[in-house]
Structure 1
Amino acid sequence: MLSDVTGRKGAVIASSTTSPTPAAPGGGIDRALISTAALIVIIAGLKAGASLVAPVALALVLVVAVSPVQGFLVRHGWPRWLSAAVLLFVVYGFLASFALVLVASVGRLAALVPQYADRADALIAQVKGWLADLGVDQAQVATLGKQLDPGHLVDTVLTLLGSLAGIVSNLAFLLCLLLFMALDAGGYPARITGLSAIRPGLAEALKRFARGTRSYLLVTTIFGAIVAVLDGGALWALGVPLPILWGLLSFLTNYIPNVGFIIGLIPPALLALLDGGWRAAAWVVVIYCCINFVLQSVIQPKVIGNSIDLTVTLTFLALVFWTWVIGPLGAILAIPLTLLAKALLVDVAPNGRWANHLLTAKP
């Protein structure tokens, strides 16, 4: 009897060790659906709070970009509060200078555009005649004429000025946020060291994000400054009004991947058309195309490729996605935000690193 019981127990134990419990059907699909639903909720929350998320993202990227200055000062014996003050001085000075030049230039543009009303009417009438000769529907021609009307352009400029006023209303929040982030940035290396002992994967992913963001911003800023000087100098030589504004626009749009060149080209080309005719506009297009092809399309991608290591398709989709989520600022911060999302969603998860083979330019 005892041997029978022992035998049955052994059989039960053997069967339990050799026959694993079958996985619940659809378990992998359920996890994928739950993860997708959570991601959709997060994206919806980001879009709903875009007015708050955008300045937070800008402050984070700025602090990450200039934090090596603070780290250098701390390593050489400077007090943490004084190094934070230097960091704030650099960031605040950059923002103040940029805002001052932008507001002054846009104000001059708003006063300059009405002076070209007669010239614009003549060009619009000429374009309408060409379209009519080509057989384009007159209703579409009339609609195009309304869109190109100088009054409509002035309204667009005034709307831009209004949006600048809206940015100023959030400036206090941005400056306070930069202050607190700068004070905390001094302890960032110690926090990462402590995190490495608990979550080494997350710590390494955040380090990779910070390095990639700084490399991207450094290279983009250098090339943007070169492009801005060349574009502004060429426009000044051609006699196009407001060359400083258009050089500043070239510098800013250099941070927008793939389509930034086109955005920076359209306003000065239109103004050259109104001021100097078709020949001046053609020269602006030719000069911009040459500078863009040599610097932004040939040299810059090779230099910047090692820092971001993202496919061209992904950078374009990131541009569209972040612009849709947090507005125009998302176009400028598209690459840093994508690097952060990749670090938190892909690099940090061992079972998600397979996605790197699809997302990176050099898998």
Structure 2
Amino acid sequence: MTEQRLVPRALIVLLCTAGAVVTLSGIRAIGSIIGPVLLALVLVLAVSPVRTWLRRRGAPGWTLVAVPLILVLLLLFGMVTILTVAVAQTAGLASTYGPQFNQLLAEAETLGVRFGIGPAQVNQAIRSFDLGKVFTLVQGFASGLLGVFSSLILVTVLMLAMCLDAQTFSRALASGAAHRPGLVRALDDFAHKTRRYLVVSTVFGVICSALDVTALWLLDVPLPLLWGVLALITNYIPNLGFVIGLIPPALLGLLEGGPRTMVLVIVSYVMINFVVQSLIQPKFLGDAVGLSTTVTLLSLLVWAFVLGPLGALLAIPLSLLVRALLIDSDPDGEWVAALISGELPSESSEKPFQTDERDGPG
């Protein structure tokens, strides 16, 4: 203890910060490899209950690998198809609504002059706003995800390898519980929290998307089904995903029906998001995430910077993995866990590890 106290705490903080910067820089440099690996890991964890269900019912060994893999591949192909359509549609919409946009800008200029704003200022503001840039932002996000999901061969091979090693990995963790109980418990909690987060987010994302599609259909906004699916995908992005999913239908509402339609689209999205995701969803999600609002937002910014759109999509699972490896596995990390979760230390105390109630991380 005496030797530890001789090391200045500020030096420890600086070394840890430098190590984090170097690690994240390295991950970013090989993001084309790390991204598919992390995506495959999260997808394998998502279908892990299917493998457990088949094993308990005595299904043949090959089905424990084939069935989860097929389910994930269907999901990936579906997302690739949706993102491809989204990219193609957003690429053509900007040019299609060019005349309507110019008319709206002319009306905005007239309205600005009526309120005493000089023509030069209005023209400068109009020139600084480019509809194509807004659509390019959404299109770039979708293209970034499509670039990762399109690497289906690499992702498929990784998932196949992880599915084949899942049982061995689970047994190895169970046998190592006596030697490294903290690490095994942390990995088990990571797998459980990730699955719960994905399930709850998917269920409530589908509910929000269905309500969004209904609102867009009633307001005569083009392509309501496409924007509903985009809202489902962006639902996995904490904090900012809602805004990304709102931009295309709001702009289309403006071009199709004018400012009134755009305002109605925004109000509908905000009300649906507030009721479902802010009032109802947290009651079902509970403490599954274990990350405070501030940490969640910082995680989104960091992982989006490191891995791009895929990092934004997987921000919560990746943060849970970092927490499991660096904090929850450390017996002295309880106060740090309480700090990042926003809970009192007494509320975040460790629970007894039980291997028979959950499926292992693999």
The two structures have a TM-score, normalised by structure 2, of 0.86
1:329–1:301: structure 2 CA closer, same or farther, 3 Å change rule? same
Equivalent residue for 1:65? 46
Name the count of aligned residue pairs. 343
- Distance, in Å, in 2 between the alignment partners of 1:264 and 1:207 is 33
Which structure has the greater CA radius of gyration? 1
58, 61, 69: which one aligns with 1:80: 61
Equivalent residue for 1:265? 246
218, 224, 227: which one aligns with 2:205: 224
Equivalent residue for 1:307? 288
168, 173, 176: which one aligns with 1:195: 176
Equivalent residue for 1:148? 130
Structure 1: segments with no counterpart, 5+ residues? 1-19
Helix, strand or coil for the counterpart of 2:343? coil
- Distance, in Å, in 1 between the alignment partners of 2:92 and 2:111 is 30
1:131–1:341: structure 2 CA closer, same or farther, 3 Å change rule? farther
**Superposition deviation, residue 231 in structure 1:** 0.5
Structure 1, 322-331 or 119-128: larger mean CA deviation? 119-128
Whichever residue aligns with residue 55 of structure 1, its letter is P
Note if contact 1:114-1:154 (Cα within 8 Å) is conserved in structure 2: no
- Distance, in Å, in 2 between the alignment partners of 1:205 and 1:320 is 24
Note if contact 2:138-2:244 (Cα within 8 Å) is conserved in structure 1: no
**Superposition deviation, residue 59 in structure 1:** 1.0
Equivalent residue for 2:72? 91
242, 245, 260: which one aligns with 1:279: 260
Equivalent residue for 2:188? 207
Residues 1:113 and 2:130 are matched in the alignment: no
Residues 1:185 and 2:205 are matched in the alignment: no
Residues 1:354 and 2:319 are matched in the alignment: no
**Superposition deviation, residue 294 in structure 1:** 0.6
**Superposition deviation, residue 153 in structure 1:** 5.8
1:161–1:137: structure 2 CA closer, same or farther, 3 Å change rule? same
Equivalent residue for 1:53? 34
Equivalent residue for 2:312? 331
1:134–1:255: structure 2 CA closer, same or farther, 3 Å change rule? farther
Q: Greater share of helix residues, 1 or 2?
A: 1
- Distance, in Å, in 2 between the alignment partners of 1:75 and 1:168 is 32
1:36–1:283: structure 2 CA closer, same or farther, 3 Å change rule? closer
| Displaced runs of 4 or more, over 6 A | 20-24
Structure 1, 291-300 or 41-50: larger mean CA deviation? 41-50
- Computed over aligned residues only, the root mean square deviation of the Cα atoms, in angstroms, reads 2.6
Helix, strand or coil for the counterpart of 2:216? helix
Identity %: 42
Note if contact 1:124-1:148 (Cα within 8 Å) is conserved in structure 2: no
1:158–1:302: structure 2 CA closer, same or farther, 3 Å change rule? closer
1:183–1:153: structure 2 CA closer, same or farther, 3 Å change rule? same
Equivalent residue for 1:298? 279
Residues 1:237 and 2:221 are matched in the alignment: no
**Superposition deviation, residue 284 in structure 1:** 0.8
Whichever residue aligns with residue 87 of structure 1, its letter is P
The two structures have a TM-score, normalised by structure 1, of 0.86
323, 326, 342: which one aligns with 1:345: 326
138, 141, 153: which one aligns with 1:172: 153
**Superposition deviation, residue 190 in structure 1:** 0.5
Q: CA deviation digits over 1:60-106, x for unaligned, max 9? A: 11111111111221222223332110011100011112221332243
Q: Which has the higher contact order (CA 8 A, sep 6+)?
A: 2
Equivalent residue for 2:349? none
